[in-house]
Structure 1
C-alpha cells in the first residue's frame, strides 16, 4: 500500500459508493467507458455489466495482472497497465477515482478529449478549486468551467478508503461543453502566472497590445479564455 500512497492513490472500499458512482454515470449498452485507476477492481465489474466496452487502465502492473485473473469472464473488458492519461482510445464516458497527485493533469487532459460525460472522485479541496469564483480562482478553475458543466453529486468521507487519505473526497459529474487544445490550456496557465498584472501589461509579455486596464481577477472565465486565444493568434 505504501507505493499507492506515494502515488496519491487510495482504494475505495465501499461497495455502496461504487454502485452509486456507476448509477450516476448513466451507462448504456452503446457506451465505451474509460476507467483510469483499476485499483482493486471495485468499480470494474459493475461497469462491465452496464457498458458495451470497458477500457480500464492502472499504473500498477501487479494490479492489472490480478484484474486479468479476477475478471477473465468479462469479454467486454480491456485491461491496460501504464499512464491512462496518455491513452489514444476513444470513449464516451469517463469514470475515475482520480489520484490526488494527478487531479490537475487529469482535468487538463479531459479538457482536450471528446466524450459525453464523466463521474470523478476528487479531493474536496480540489473540487472547491474547480468551481471557485473571482479571487479564489486558479487557471484550472477557468479550464474546468470552460470545458465542462460541473455538478456535485455527493461527499465521501475519508474512512471509505484504504489507506484512508487525510481529507474527505467529493464525487462530481462533468459534462463536456467545449474541447480545448494543449496550447490554449498552457496559455491560460501562463496568464495566471501574471495574475497581479493588468491585461494591458500581460499582453505586453506576448508582444500584443490592448487598452484594457482590468486585472485577471476582474475578468470572467470566458474573457480569460478569449484573452488566451488572442495571445495565440
Structure 2
C-alpha cells in the first residue's frame, strides 16, 4: 500500500520538496492529480485479478497504486532514477515490479498483457509504433493518456485521417474514451489530454508482414506528400510511374 495519497497535489509537492527533486520537463513529467481521471482510466482498461499490466512512466505511482490493487501483476517501467527511488520507498505491493529503464529500450517478454499509461507527450508516437510494429509480443490493448489533439488524430475517421491515424489503425481499432483537463495534472501542461483505447487486430499482421508493410507505408506517405493535390498526381510523382 502507498504511504500517502499520491493523487493529492499537496502531497506530491511536499514529497518532491523534501527530496529536493523537481519535475523534469525533458521527460515530460506531469503527474496525474485527479482521482476521477484515474478511475476513468481504470474503468477503460476493464481490469481483473488475472491481468498482467505494463505501466509506462509511473512517475510517483498514483495510477500504479490503483492498478496494483486490481490485477495479478504490474510491471512499471520508469526511466528517471529519482522516481524509481521514490516508488520503491513509497509503494508496498507484492505484485509490483519496478524496472528502471527507457521504455524504448525495454524488451517485453510477456504474454497476454495490457499497457496502461499516462504517457509523456513526446513519447506517444514512438511508444505506440514500437508496441504495434516492433515488439514480438503485442499487448491485448493499450489504454493511454495522450495530448488531446494527438488522440483525436490517432482516432480520426476515414475522411479526416493523417499518416499517424493510418499508421495506428492499420494494426488496431482505436477510440477516444474520455477527455482530461490540463488542470488534472501537476505541473499543469499547456493543453488538455485524452484517454484513448488501442486494441491490436492480430489478423492485420498476417497481411502487413515486414516487406509488405514497407510498400504499404511508402504508398501512404506518397499519398499525403502534398495534401492539396490530387492523389494520382502525388503517387505518380513520389512513386515514379506514369498516370
Normalising by the smaller structure, the TM-score range is 0.7 to 0.9
Question: Aligned-pair distance for 1:42?
Answer: 0.5
Q: 2:239 aligns with which of 200, 203, 215?
A: 203
The residue number in structure 2 matching 1:110 is 131
Comparing 183-192 and 97-106, the one that deviates more = 183-192
Closer, same or farther: CA 183–156 of 1 in aligned 2, 3 Å? farther
The CA deviation at 1:145 is 1.2
Relative to the length of structure 2, the TM-score reads 0.75
Query: Could you say if the C-alpha distance between residues 157 and 177 of structure 1 is closer, same or farther in structure 2, counting changes exceeding 3 Å?
Result: same
- The answer as to whether partners of 2:58 and 2:118 remain within 8 angstroms in 1 is no
Show CA shifts across 1:118-149 (max 9, x none).
21011011012113356753322101112221
Deviations 1:166-200 (A, max 9, x none): 11101111111144667776666655553235333
Counterpart position of 1:96? 117
Residue 201 (structure 1) shift: 3.4
Q: Cα 1:192–1:13, aligned 2, differ >3 Å: closer, same or farther?
A: same
How far apart in 2 are the matches of 1:68 and 1:182?
40
Number of aligned residues: 206
**SS across alignment from 2:24:** helix
Q: Distance in 2 between matches of 1:40 and 1:183?
A: 41
- 1:86 aligned to 2:110? no
Q: What are the superposed Cα offsets for residues 6-25 of structure 1, whole Å, 9 maximum, x if unpaired?
A: 22231111122112211221
**Structure 1: 5+ residue stretches without partners:** 214-233
RMSD: 2.5
1:95–1:118 Cα contact (<8 Å) kept = yes
Matches within 5 A, 1:12-31: 12-31=32-51
Does residue 144 of the first structure (1) align with residue 168 of the second (2)? yes
TM-score, normalisation: structure 1: 0.78
In structure 2, do the counterparts of structure 1 residues 70 and 186 end up closer, same or farther at CA, with 3 Å as the change threshold? farther
Flag structure 2 segments of 5+ consecutive residues without an equivalent: 1-20, 227-232
In 2 relative to 1, CA 60–181 (structure 1 residues): closer, same or farther, beyond 3 Å? farther
What CA distance in whole angstroms lies between the structure 2 residues aligned with 1:162 and 1:98? 14
Determine the C-alpha separation between the residues in 1 that align with 2:175 and 2:56: 20
Whether 1:160 aligns to 2:196 is no
Query: The residue matched to 1:43 in structure 2 has which SS?
Result: helix
